[in-house]
Structure 1
Amino acid sequence: MPYDKKSDLPEQVQDNLPSHAEEIFKEAYNNAYEQYKDPDDRDGDDSREEVAFKVAWSAVKQKYEKNENGDWVKK
């Protein structure tokens, strides 16, 4: 299901990402959730939610990376 606000995001996202990265995640997830609603648009047997999560994390990784301490920081 799409997320209305950052506080609706899963704990694994809220507990690890900076605020801006959470916003990127939320927007990418919501867009992918809508874009891949038709199973024929998805590769393999991934659910709509699984595809949206993959897209969202990929979007975050374009702007953020983990540092040597395991914290997400802007590239």
Structure 2
Amino acid sequence: MPYAATADLPDPVRSHLPAHAQEIYLAAFNNAWEEYARREDREALAHRVAWAAVKQQYRKAGKDWVKK
């Protein structure tokens, strides 16, 4: 289901990503959720799309995600 706020994101997303990256994740997930409404695997697909969107602007440096 789509997320209303970053506080609603899954724990792994909230605990690992900085605030701005969480906003990117939220927007990308919600958009993909709507776009792929007819797909049976839409939740998993929406999560993959959201991570891909984050990775366009952030990279992992050790345990932290940092802006590119």
TM-score > 0.5 by shorter chain? yes
| Alignment correspondent of 1:33 | 33
- TM-score scaled by structure 2? 0.96
Instruction: Please report the RMSD computed on the Cα atoms of aligned residues, expressed in angstroms.
Output: 0.9
Higher helix share: 2
Q: Counterparts in 2 of 1:14-29, with a 5 A limit?
A: 14-29=14-29
SS in 1 for 2:66: strand
- The alignment of Structure 1 onto Structure 2 pairs a total of residues equal to 68
| Alignment correspondent of 2:64 | 71
Amino acid paired to 1:29: F
Mind listing any 5+ residue stretches in structure 2 that lack a counterpart? none
Residue 17 of structure 1 deviates from its aligned partner by: 0.1
Mind listing any 5+ residue stretches in structure 1 that lack a counterpart? 40-45
Distance 2:10 2:60 in 1: 19
Residue by residue, what CA displacement relative to the aligned partner does 1:13-49 show, whole Å, maximum 9, x if unpaired?
000000000000000000000000112xxxxxx6110
- TM-score scaled by structure 1? 0.87
Q: Give the % identical residues.
A: 53
